[in-house]
Amino acid sequence: MSNITRLVVLGAVRQFEPVHGYFLRRELMTWHVDEWANIQPGSIYNALKSLKQDGYIEEAGTEAAGKRPERTIYRTTPQGVVELMRMLRQTLWTVETFDTKPTMALTSFMFLLSRSEVVAALKFRMTEIDAKIASNGFDIADVGHSTTTPAYVREIFELSSLRLRAEQEWAKGLYERITAGNYVFAGDPGSRVEPVEPK
């Protein structure tokens, strides 16, 4: 299971607990996670099994609505909450050039972190992206001078530069909206969650 499936499912359990698999399946499908994170229903049930085996979530009995099939209820364990925050922070502080999933997962769960941490991380991300764009620029120039590299490799760098610039612009916009007071983060007045500090 890619980290993203675990992050998304653990985050969703945290958000909706106590919760059963079928609810998560329906909820996550409305998020279109099958499109942006490639998570199919089968993977959700598998993630639940695996997260349970790792002790990050636990069963809290079963129930049935009417004469419907029984459903298993899950909730996070204290270790699960710690692990979720760890995965979330790791995602927040890492810029992936090609994989779009992490950033999508971030937007879904960043409200579990404090406003100040998210603001700091966004600043960091903008610097990182700058560096990657710059190094990409040199790569494009190199391809132009090289006699062995196929010419079309230039297009790969061109495309990833443009993608990074998009990511950059998004980070900038989000930074502005957040510092302007938009959205509710952990620890904010009105938030239902307290920030969990790293150990």
Binding residues for DNA, rule: CB under 7 A, are 1-2, 5-6, 20-23, 25-26, 38-43, 45-47, 50, 64-72
DSSP 186: B
Does the protein bind a second copy through residue 40 (CB under 8 A)? Answer: no
Cβ 7 vs Cβ 84: under 8 Å: yes
Q: How far is the CB of 18 from DNA (least distance, A)?
A: 12
State how far the Cα of 173 lies from the Cα of 90, in Å rounded to an integer. Answer: 21
Does the protein bind a second copy through residue 36 (CB under 8 A)? Answer: yes
Residue closer to a second copy by CB (options 44, 106) is: 106
Does the protein bind a second copy through residue 29 (CB under 8 A)? Answer: no
Q: Which of 135, 137, 162, 176 binds a second copy (CB under 8 A)?
A: 162
**CB neighbours of 44 closer than 8 A, spacing ≥ 6?**
5, 9, 21, 24, 25, 28
Give the count of alpha carbons within 13 A of 40, CB side only: 1
Strand order in the sheet with 71-76: 19-20, 71-76, 57-63
Does the protein bind a second copy through residue 169 (CB under 8 A)? Answer: yes
Does the protein bind a second copy through residue 70 (CB under 8 A)? Answer: no
Q: Which does 180 bind (CB under 5 to 8 A by kind): a second copy, DNA, none?
A: none
Q: Maximum CA pair distance of the chain?
A: 71
Q: How far apart are the first and last CA of the chain?
A: 26
Residue 31 structure tokens: 């998020």
Residue closer to a second copy by CB (options 56, 111) is: 111
Q: Which does 119 bind (CB under 5 to 8 A by kind): DNA, a second copy, none?
A: none
Q: Which does 165 bind (CB under 5 to 8 A by kind): a second copy, DNA, none?
A: a second copy
Q: How far is the CB of 136 from a second copy (least distance, A)?
A: 12
State how far the Cα of 118 lies from the Cα of 135, in Å rounded to an integer. Answer: 26
Per CB under 8 A, residues contacting a second copy are 35-36, 38, 97-101, 103-104, 107-108, 110-111, 151-152, 155-156, 158-160, 162-163, 165-167, 169-170, 173-174, 182-183
